[in-house]
Copies of this chain bind each other. A is one copy, B any other.
Amino acid sequence: MTDSADGTRTETLREPTPAAARDIVARGIDREAIVTVYGRCTVDYEGRASSRLEAGARHVMLKPDGAALVHTDEGQQPVNWQPPGCTHDAVCEDGELILESVRSTPDERLRVRFREVLQVSAFSGTDENELALVGTEEDLRQRILEDPSVLEAEFTPLATERETPAGAVDIYGEDAAGRAVVVELKRRRVGPDAVSQLRRYVDALERDLHADAAVRGILVAPSVTDRASRLLTEHGLEFVSLEPPAE
């Protein structure tokens, strides 16, 4: 057990007995630590789908918010997991450590059985700061609202998140001729799905306004794929190349 000046505390055991491992895990969950276990284990999941993973060396993390992560040596994504909101539990059964994370709505259960525990740790610390991220779709929207002419000359934004029967439109406005314009924003290169999305909004707004004059639809993104480009043409929609600001 180690206590640091800043309140950070860690507890670690190498090759613990299953009972000792269970104690560290249980105590860690109790004090709202990040708990990690590395060893050979099997994993069973039952919930929205179901899965089984035979024995292998994996790294398991239990978070105090109820999230659980099982990582192999490959992939950015955990091979098995449980979202925040679960209740963690650690028990010994037949001389083996078992970790279980359960939630309801939907009912889901993750069960990790360790044949061998190489290391178990509990990490307590504080993290006050949140991520500052730049380059999102929201940043792209700000860029256009601050200077609508980057979209086209004399474009006038009238609303953001304007509601239609098909959902909320990113930017709603009118052009130099006073025609209604629906703008759909994407922070990166788009495919057919983005075109369909814009199409839904344009359709919905045309019905909503029941105006005879057609509503213009403009897709704003860094670039489009060939198929998306063809779809835009078919549906009479437009494209403007813009990127979210880099900083």
Contact = CB atoms under 8 A, between A and B. Distances in A.
Interface residues of A, number: 78
A69 interface: yes
Given A74-B84, A167-B227, A40 B200 contact: no
A53 interface: yes
Q: Please state the number of chain copies in the assembly.
A: 2
A83 B55 CA distance: 25
Contact of A166 (B34, B84, B131, B227): B227
A132 B75 contact: no
Given A81-B76, A129-B55, A227-B166, A10 B192 contact: no
Interface string A1-35: 01010101010101100000000000000001010
A82 to B, nearest CB: 8
A196 interface: yes
Nearest to A33: B73
Interface stretch (A117-125, A147-155, A176-184): A117-125
Given A51-B133, A167-B227, A57 B8 contact: yes
A76 B84 contact: yes
Given A2-B14, A59-B123, A67-B75, 17 more contacts: A8-B116, A10-B118, A34-B38, A36-B36, A40-B125, A49-B133, A49-B135, A50-B247, A51-B132, A53-B129, A57-B127, A58-B127, A65-B75, A69-B71, A69-B76, A72-B127, A167-B192
Interface of A: 2, 4, 6, 8, 10, 12, 14-15, 32, 34, 36, 38-40, 48-59, 61, 63-65, 67, 69, 71-76, 79-84, 116, 118-119, 121, 123, 125-136, 165-167, 187-188, 192-193, 196-197, 199-200, 227, 230-231, 244, 246-247
5 contacts: A6-B116, A8-B39, A10-B38, A57-B126, A200-B231
